[in-house]
A and B are shown apart, each in its own frame.
Chain A
Amino acid sequence: DAGITQSPRYKITETGRQVTLMCHQTWSHSYMFWYRQDLGHGLRLIYYSAAADITDKGEVPDGYVVSRSKTENFPLTLESATRSQTSVYFCATNLAGGSYEQYFGPGTRLTVT
């Protein structure tokens, strides 16, 4: 049981390029989340999705786009990458929102040069 996977695990891209980070879960959890983690900051929510075709902004959504056409996938796209988007990105899932436990993927380390 793979649980939650992210790809790629490491990515280097240039400023202005589009890049998509993938997240896949095998649990059929309703909720999926994208966070970024930077030194000096706690994990910050970028976007979340309560179900397929339902997405909403988190704390730091600018410069990011998400979609969720299938329950198991939640890709995060940086439409025109900037150096400030260099970070470690974590995908997470949650059975049904609220007080349910959240499960995190292994992370994608993105460097924008």
Chain B
Amino acid sequence: KNQVEQSPQSLIILEGKNCTLQCNYTVSPFSNLRWYKQDTGRGPVSLTIMTFSENTKSNGRYTATLDADTKQSSLHITASQLSDSASYICVVSAAGGTSYGKLTFGQGTILTVHP
């Protein structure tokens, strides 16, 4: 069964600090891995999409890494801001099968940034 597990479930940090969120997956065959940010009361918004051949991808202060061999990804947030408070969701897309590329969602890591 395809699964995506994220850790920690929740995290509290002080503004200006860095943090790293983890994602482990067992989805096969692998197509791509996505990180989404979901603010309270809003829909998820894509931060990065990484394919098998990409090890690192950045989007401003967000840097995602992917190790396809160990099936692990991380999202590093640099110099956190209050607006980074949100749920961060790791999503893995399976190749083949259904035409839409079946997505498996993690349960998310809730990040709270305190001033």
Binding site for B on A (CB under 8 A): 31, 33, 40-45, 48, 50, 56, 90, 92, 94, 97-99, 101-107
Contacts and interface: CB of A to CB of B under 8 A. Distances in A.
Given A92-B43, A104-B44, 15 more contacts: A41-B107, A42-B89, A42-B106, A42-B108, A43-B89, A44-B105, A90-B44, A97-B99, A98-B100, A98-B101, A99-B32, A99-B101, A101-B46, A101-B49, A102-B103
A105 B41 CA distance: 11
Interface residues of B, number: 24
The B interface is mostly helix, strand or loop, or mixed, namely strand
Contacts of A48: 100
A interface: dominant SS:
strand
Given A40-B107, A48-B100, A97-B100, A106 B4 contact: no
B49 A104 contact: no
B49 to A, nearest CB: 6
B14 interface: no
A102 B105 CA distance: 13
Nearest to B90: A42
Contacts of B31: 98-99
Interface in B77-102: 89, 93, 98-101
A65 B45 CA distance: 26
A51 to B, nearest CB: 10
Given A42-B4, A42-B107, A99 B43 contact: no
Interface string B23-35: 0000000011010
A37 to B, nearest CB: 9
19 contacts: A40-B107, A42-B107, A44-B105, A45-B103, A50-B99, A50-B100, A92-B43, A94-B100, A97-B101, A98-B93, A98-B101, A99-B51, A101-B34, A101-B49, A102-B46, A102-B103, A105-B43, A106-B42, A107-B43
Contacts of B44: 43, 90, 104
A11 to B, nearest CB: 15
